[in-house]
Amino acid sequence: MSNKDHNSEPHAEHISSYREHFGTWVGLILLTMMTVFISVFGADLRTLSVATALLIASVKALVVGYYFMHLKYDPAIYRIMMGIVMALFTVFLVMVIFDYLTRN
Amino acid sequence: MSETAAMPLNYLNVKKGIWSWLFTLDHKRIALLYLYSIGAFFLVGVVLGVVMRLELFNPGRDIIEPQTYNQVFTLHGVIMIFLFIIPSIPAVFGNFFLPIMLGTDDVAFPRLNLFSWYLYIIGALFALSTLIYGNGPADTGWTFYAPYSVKTGTNVSMSVLAAFILGFSSILTGLNFIVTIHRLRTPGMTFNKMPLFSWALYATSWIQVLATPVIGITLMMIIAERMFGVGLFDPSIGGDPILYQHLFWIYSHPAVYIMALPAMGVVSEIIPTFAQRSIFGYKPIAYSSMAIAFVGYFVWGHHMFTSGMSGAAAIVFSILTFLVAIPTAIKVFNWVATLYKGSIDIQVPLLYALAFIFNFLIGGLTGLVLGALVVDVHVHDTYFVVGHFHYVMFGGTGFAFFGALHYWFPKIWGKMYNKTRANLAFALLFIGFNTLYFPMLVLGIMGMPRRYYDYLPEFHSLNQISTVGSWILVVGLLLMIFNLVAGYLKGQKVGGNPWNGITLEWQTDSPPPLHNFDKMPELPAGGPYNYPNAKSE
């Protein structure tokens, strides 16, 4: 007996254009350059430097997820799941940083 | 006439030979592979535990050296946590019964399922290899706290690598269960018509998938620091040991719910079957599993109240810790309410379920004591924590595991064990367990520190009582194992539904056929626990 397909749903395939792939790649390179610039060439952001690095890394992860991993073309449930994971991760960071900032 | 012609084909006799087991894709056989391997490692962990108790029978040296003692309690913890408790109920009973309870023929990814077991075995071999390779097993405790874990000469790298590999096994099992529950439920089975064991596994699986990667990366950071001197956790090279504790407990506290939630699922199955009535508060029990999983993510800081964490953060974590008690209490009240006015049939699985509630209540309430900041300062790092932890893990999850074994034994092997012997084994286990661990709570209040090789004379008598409890517990364990093996070899054959259960696993033969059902299972009208002969209220 097999009922594996009883609630499967049609899933439209999407083939990204070279233009979109190239644009995503350029975006990631620019963001990487920005990270290097901030850390190496002395942009003095003090405590914000960690937050800035995390923000840039998060944007890069989103770009990869959205375009390279086709999250943009998938059903909304996957974006919601991704959002929950990101929110969870953010809470972890906030609570750890809260401990550091409130220590005597 | 051949044997297979005489008896109906089932998953046990449809194929023969060692290779049919080692390369099986059948979720039921993979579950048994897990059962035998987890059972073997559990016995190793028990031996190490008994060695510790023997050493603590008298103050000073009895049988082992202090350094050996440190390594024994570390290996005991690593084996019991990573090789027994975490995989126990999901990998064995989840693998075996989740697809059957959902009315389907296998998990979503059978090959991934087998791969998970191989990862488990590889991780286990890595952990045990520290006994004969390098400078002996780690002596850090199962938490691998930095900076000691970075500096000790024992084989920490291999131990954390083992935990890393075992984490992958856990993630893949969780992923498999989530997809199975979303995609393979039998037609008509909505989420709110799933058995509560499936709900518990669903909540557990999300924790496995989302929290386990954190410990994986953290353990890799330990190796990076040990091998390459990267200053992450060791203050002498610019690291922060409290950062390690944050990262470790971000996984390891949710992991407590990986251990506890499936046990609660088992209890939610056993109680309505032996009360022969609908479970009280189906939705509160189901949703409280999700609530425990969710809130459980945010309470990790209560392991660090005395570690130097900020007072403000400690207050936040303390409040959140008290919140997690609410969904747990909801479950307990609902289980007890289910028994009320039920047609209670006191069989061995129900005894284990009741023991779970009793032990888990002590474990849970002592957890609240530890969650209170002012008390935690006094009892942290004492035997109170050891007692609390074992009441939750062994008294809770361990007893639920034994209960599940007795509940589903006739379904798995199609035979019944000797119930008188099973009752006697239960009594020995329950008495032995409480004799072993309750004195630890008292010792902790008296101020005996945990993880110490030696102790002051005033702690002597309670330590002796505790060690005697370990002997009673071992006798109970051996009797239980003997009884189950005897049941497997010579037990009386039983039909498909010896307990009069109504979830889907009781609609198929015992043992189940290869594809679980010979005909499409019928969902019980009115929900998974709507017992037709239940008394009206």
Under a CB-based contact definition with an 8 Å cutoff, are residues B402 and B93 in contact? no
8 Å CB contact of A103 and B297: no
Whether residue B320 lies inside any domain: the answer is: yes
How near does any CA of chain B get to the CA of A16, in Å?
A: 27
Residue A5: pLDDT over 50: no
Q: How many domains does chain A have?
A: 1
pLDDT of residue A3: 44
Is residue B423 exposed (0-12), middle (13-18) or buried (19+ Cβ within 10 Å)? Answer: middle
- Considering only A48-52, B218-222, B532-536, which range has the smallest mean pLDDT? B532-536
Averaged over B515-530, what is the pLDDT?
90
Owning domain of residue B68: 3-507
Is B532 within a domain? Answer: no
Q: How far is the C-alpha of A14 from the C-alpha of A41, rounded, in Å? A: 41
Q: How far is B296 from chain A (nearest CA, A)?
A: 12
What is the CB neighbour count within 10 angstroms for residue B168?
Answer: 18
Nearest to B187 among A3, A8, A100 (CB): A3
* pLDDT for the residue numbered B135: 85
* pLDDT at residue B257 greater than cutoff 80: yes
Distance from CA of A20 to the nearest CA of B (A): 30
Q: Using alpha carbons, list the distances in angstroms from residue A42 to A34, A39, A49.
A: 12, 6, 10
**Residue positions counted in chain A:** 104
- The verdict on a CB contact (< 8 Å) between B298 and A8 is no
Most A CBs within 10 A among B104, B509, B516, hence the mutation to make, goes to B104
Structure confidence by residue, pLDDT tens digits, B141-187: 999 999 999 999 999 999 999 999 999 999 999 999 999 999 999 99
Q: Is residue B529 domain-resident?
A: no
Contact B217, B134 (CB under 8 A): no
- H helix or E strand, kind and range, residue B416: strand B415-416
* Mean per-residue pLDDT, B239-249: 93
In tens, the pLDDT along B278-309 reads: 999 999 999 999 999 999 999 999 999 999 89
- B110: CATH: 1.20.210.10
The predicted-structure confidence for B354-407, as pLDDT tens digits, reads as follows: 999 999 999 999 999 999 999 999 999 999 999 999 999 999 999 999 999 999
Whether a cis peptide bond, with omega within 30° of 0, leads into B511 is yes
pTM for the whole structure: 0.92
The model's pLDDT over B35-85, given as tens digits with 9 standing for 90+, comes to: 999 999 999 999 999 999 999 999 999 999 999 999 999 999 999 999 999
In a domain, A48, yes or no: yes
Average pLDDT, chain B: 94
Q: What's the confidence (pLDDT) of residue B113?
A: 97
Q: Is residue A93 part of a domain?
A: yes
Mean pLDDT of B268-284: 95
Name the band, by pLDDT with cuts 50, 70 and 90, for residue A77: confident
Measuring CA to CA, which residue among B191, B355, B209, B150 is closest to residue B270?
Answer: B355
Question: What's the CA gap between B270 and B399, in Å, rounded?
Answer: 12
Please report, for residues A14, A52, B69, B78, the alpha-carbon distance to residue B391 in angstroms, rounded to integers and kept in the order given.
53, 45, 22, 18
What is the Cα–Cα distance from A12 to B117, expressed in whole angstroms?
34
**Mean pLDDT score, B417-431:** 98
> Is A70 within the bounds of a domain?
yes
Q: Determine the structural domain holding residue A35 and report its residue range.
A: 18-101
Task: Round to whole Å and give the CA distance between B282 and B268.
Answer: 9
**Tell me, what's the pLDDT at A14?**
74
- What is the count of structural domains for chain B? 1
**Across chain B, which distance is largest between two alpha carbons, in Å?**
76
* In a domain? residue A31: yes
Rounded average pLDDT over B422-426? 98
Hey, what are B484's tokens?
């189950």
Q: E-strand spans in B101-168?
A: none
Q: How many C-alpha atoms does B334 have within 13 Å on its Cβ side?
A: 25
Please judge whether A3 and B184 are an interchain contact, meaning their C-beta atoms are less than 8 angstroms apart: yes
B13 lies in some domain? yes
* Whole-angstrom distance, CA of residue B49 vs CA of residue B61: 16
pLDDT of residue A39: 78
Per-residue H/E/C for B469-510: HHHHHHHHHHHHHHHHHHHHHHCEECCCCCCCCCCHHHHCCC
Closest CA to B51 of B471, B477, B382, B480: B471
Task: Answer whether residue A13 is part of any domain.
Answer: no
DSSP-derived letter for residue B394 is I
Decide if A8 is inside a domain. Answer: no
Q: Is B533 within the bounds of a domain?
A: no
Whole-number pLDDT of residue A2: 42
Q: Residue holding tokens 């999983």?
A: B293
pLDDT for A15: 80
User: Which two tokens mark B243?
Assistant: 């950062």
ipTM of the prediction: 0.83
Assess if residue B518 is contained within a domain.
no
Q: pLDDT confidence of B2, banded at 50, 70, 90?
A: very low
